[in-house]
Amino acid sequence: MDEALLRSLTPSVLAILVRRGADFAAAEDAVQDALVEAVRVWPAEPPRDPKGWLVTVAWRKFLDAPRADSALMLLHHARRAARTAPDGSLVPLAEQDRGRWDTGSITEGVEILQAALARDRLGEFQAQAAIAALHADAPTAEETDWVQIVEWYDELARLTDSPVVRLNRAVAVGEADGPRAGLAALATLDDALPRHTAVAAYLHERDGDLTTAARLYAEAAQKAPNLAERDHLTRQAARLNARRSR
């Protein structure tokens, strides 16, 4: 892979997208996605026209991003009515009443996502929407296809190298391969990450260590970014402490 060639072509590819009407920030994201794709594809299939290839792929990614973003928003919106209880408290995904999910929004979101993926141009929004679609497609929490979700998080981590993505991946690994595997994935991450302590609490609870889980839920509550999340984590700690005292 000629990384020097990629670096030399980047400014002109970016300029072409901007001249075509792309917002500069969105064009930068699309070009970056195209460069990632080039690193993956070019060693096996080097293009005859590297610049033309980058322009074509970056432009398609620019066009696909709003579609995938729309799919992601629809799939998240579909669960909106079930996210809070009548008293305003948070309801975790696994405990939500799926009968209150908006099936019309789910169907529309999945159709948009399928159209974006059919173009074979994978980007961050497509991966996020695919994860949301797998959650939405599960009739019950127990039937969630966590193995596929881990695979999509692997792809998303490759695309973004985001520690938050890796934190969410640790939860998925814990569901797919067991809580100890999730804790092992979590151990590779900075414990200063937002919600790291809450994830650790959840995985310890899944592993049966209620004492550690209760302590971590209480610690996570003190770090919560908002009142609703703090109250939820406080209730989780109280619930486990009550179970331990029986």
At 166-182, the pLDDT tens digits run: 999 999 999 999 999 99
109 vs 217, which has greater pLDDT?
217
Helix axis angle for 103-118 and 124-137, nearest 10°, is: 140
End-to-end CA distance of the chain: 62
Residue type, 121: R
Q: What percent of the chain has pLDDT over 70?
A: 97
Domain count, the chain: 1
Mean pLDDT of 68-83: 85
CATH number at residue 219: 1.25.40
Q: Is residue 181 part of a domain?
A: yes
Q: Is residue 239 part of a domain?
A: yes
Q: Is residue 200 part of a domain?
A: yes
182, 167 contact by CB (below 8 A): no
Residue 240 scores a pLDDT above 90:
yes
Q: Is residue 238 part of a domain?
A: yes
Distance CA 88, CA 85 (A): 5
SS3 at position 90 = strand
Q: Is residue 236 part of a domain?
A: yes
Q: Is residue 123 part of a domain?
A: no
240, 214 contact by CB (below 8 A): yes
95 burial type by CB count under 10 A (0-12 exposed, 13-18 middle, 19+ buried): exposed
Q: Is residue 69 part of a domain?
A: no
Q: Is residue 112 part of a domain?
A: no
Q: Which domain holds residue 214?
A: 162-246
Mean pLDDT of 49-78: 82
